[in-house]
Amino acid sequence: VESAKRAAAYAAVDNHVKPNHVVIGIGSGSTVPYVVERIAQQGAAVNEKRWFVPTGFQSKELIIDAGLRVADVDSFPSIDVTIDGADEVDNALNCIKGGGACQLREKVLAEAANDFIVVADYRKNGTQLGTKWTQGIPIEVAPFAFAKVLQNLKRMGSADAKLRMGKAKAGPVVTDNGNFCIDAPFPLSYMKDPSELLVKIKLLTGVVEVGLFCNMCKAAYFGNQDGTITIKT
Ligand code: DER
């Protein structure tokens, strides 16, 4: 799987991170380290003039560890290109994101970018959202409201919606923004129109951001088990 992630990341950087690009958004997860690795290989001469905007703590440390310059999105409201991972991508390039509970900042940078590019291994290449990633739609919620949001999600049809609990941490996962995360699986019939479901969930009081990225992704790169790449545009 790691070589598939690397192949997808390298191809995406080679095709979408141009020498004249100055501001680059770096996403979160286990595929983006290969994105940073490939960008660093473009050399100090071009990278010393660039700024790299992270989508969270992990992403920021990746940038710093690679010797690249970190910038705040505040200083660069518009970004040349953002490259990020995803938990599933359908044939219309809609994504489920938030497996790493970073989807708020990821969506801000995806929206701010001229080009939003997704990189993933073959396990994420789906036809309809919810078929490959079955853990549910990641939803960032204000801690004060989490029980009400859970109740409303169940009423909406997500019977198994649950608060994401820490593994190496007692209690719930807390995002880089100090919020909680709910994972809400919906029946596949609800997932046929991700844009519609996104709006319904986003309107629930207490929801901060929803891990459905619709009509945002310009291209998705998938590394396959046989070493080839699949590109969806
Ligand atoms: O949370 C996210 O959307 C991340 O980008 C992440 O889930 C991507 O998955 P990866 O670790 O397989 O790259």
- ipTM > 0.90 (yes/no): yes
pTM: predicted TM-score of the whole model, two decimal places: 0.97
Is 118:179 a contact under the CB 8 Å cutoff? no
Measured CA to CA, the distance from residue 125 to residue 75 in angstroms comes to 34
Q: How many A from CA of 27 to the centre of ligand 1?
A: 8
Q: How many A from CA of 32 to the centre of ligand 1?
A: 8
pLDDT value of position 132: 96
- Of the listed 106, 111, 140, 196, which one is catalytic? 106
CA proximity to 86, closest of 70, 76, 65, 100: 100
pLDDT value of position 77: 80
Q: How many A from CA of 31 to the centre of ligand 1?
A: 7
pLDDT value of position 50: 97
Active site annotation includes 61: no
Cβ of 85 less than 6 Å from ligand 1: yes
Q: Which portions of the chain are predicted below pLDDT 70?
A: none
Cβ of 56 less than 6 Å from ligand 1: no
pLDDT value of position 78: 87
Q: Which atom of ligand 1 is nearest to the CA of 97?
A: 3
CA proximity to 17, closest of 25, 28, 29: 25
